[in-house]
Amino acid sequence: MYDIAKVRRDFPILGREVDGKPLVYLDNAATSQKPRQVLDALTQHYERHNANIHRGVHRLAEESTAAYEEARAKVARFIGAPETTGLVFTRGTTESINLVAHGWGRKNLREGDEVVLTETEHHSNLVPWQLAARDTGARLRFIPVRDDGTLDMEEAERLIGPRTRMVAAVHASNVLGTVNPVERLAELAHGAGALMLVDGAQSAPHLPVDVGSLGCDFFAASGHKMLGPMGIGYLWGRTDLLREMDPFLGGGEMIREVHLDHSTWAEVPYKFEAGTMNVAGAVGLGAAVEYLESLGMENVREHERQLGEYAYRRLSEELEGITIYGPEADRTGVVSFDLPGVHPHDLSQLLDEEGIASRSGHHCCQPLMRRLGVSSTARASFYLYNTGDEVDRLAEALAEARKFFGAFA
């Protein structure tokens, strides 16, 4: 295990106060905070090396290009990618999935084909497929979620069949804290001759990920949720598939030759990196994955599993009537809940007055909210720097909030 006090000192923002109270940051599923090492990497890049990449022969352009490509190699290694050519930098998970739905989906889907998703998808792994289905005549099917927050795998076995061309599923839910058996889904997909895309937005920051052992064909994630800067993320894809796909965005850098009436494409991954990329962001993300590796992803996973389970226990024992969504054990550090008689929004506002950053809403999972029979939930989401004391502060603040609203009931 790592030294949590030492880790916290690496994150300058964790030292700040909100209205005189120490900040308790529990909105990590939305975005994580950044350690000094990442902030320094960004500053260093802009102070010493900044230049546009792959275009100039001058020293700074060479240094920037090398730093960008090193970052690619670091991220590829972090997720166990067999080669760096399959690692495409994007703005984040949303762009990565749109890239596949556009570049693979529109090229390959036909009327009668099916794309299998789950009921628990974030809108960013649903809406791009709706658009691709609309344009191609393909149909979307959904693996249901059971009441305990796990996927109905028997139904998955029935749904994934000869018409399936793609299975796209979230690895770790941003609402339920469930870790889905994506390895099994990948087996089912491949058994049916389909491909498997994993939305890793909430897994890459929190669990050891190895795309080889997941058995997926595409893996999408966001840098800003894993200690990196905003505006940088990645798509890993099998190189043979990426080569066959259409480009997503056209423009500079993604071409081999341009004529007035047609163009040919650069090799992967450059075919998918049109225009000026977020070079400093990539460098910052490289520093972020080094930081995560220095702690060890097994340790990060274990720390958050303990926090998530402790939060589940404390909240369910001390707040009578509370509903906590998702599985009781083996969860990630995402805890969504509903306290009867208090609107989730009011709850987050009261928590904010105690210096506790949480989130309320549909969490970009409106279909899942309907399945749960609510319009919104409150959510606390933990990361590697959160502590048991912070769970206690959350539990105490919720008990106070309940008293406050009880007074008006």
| Residue 92 within binding range of ligand 7TS, rule CB under 6 A | yes
Nearest approach in angstroms of CB 233 to ligand 7TS is 6
Q: What is the identity of the amino acid at 65?
A: T
Kindly state the tokens that stand for 191: 């058994």
Q: What is the identity of the amino acid at 23?
A: L
* Binds ligand 7TS (CB under 6 A): choice among 113, 114, 119, 199: 199
Let me know: does 42 contact 228? Beta carbons within 8 Å.
Answer: no
* Residue 373 burial (C-beta neighbours within 10 Å; 0-12, 13-18, 19+): exposed
Catalytic member of 211, 220, 364, 394: 364
Nearest approach in angstroms of CB 333 to ligand 7TS is 12
Known catalytic residue at 216: no
| Residue 93 within binding range of ligand 7TS, rule CB under 6 A | yes
* Binds ligand 7TS (CB under 6 A): choice among 75, 100, 201, 226: 201
User: Which of residues 18 and 30 has its CB atom nearest to ligand 7TS in the complex?
Assistant: 30
| Residue 344 within binding range of ligand 7TS, rule CB under 6 A | no
Nearest approach in angstroms of CB 221 to ligand 7TS is 8
* Binds ligand 7TS (CB under 6 A): choice among 94, 98, 136, 386: 94
User: Which of residues 175 and 192 has its CB atom nearest to ligand 7TS in the complex?
Assistant: 175
Nearest approach in angstroms of CB 349 to ligand 7TS is 17
Nearest approach in angstroms of CB 379 to ligand 7TS is 8
Separation between Cα atoms, residue 72 and residue 81, nearest integer Å? 11
User: Given the rule CB under 6 A, which residues bind ligand 7TS?
Assistant: 29-30, 92-94, 122, 124-125, 170, 174, 199, 201-202, 222, 363-364
Supply the residues annotated as catalytic: 364
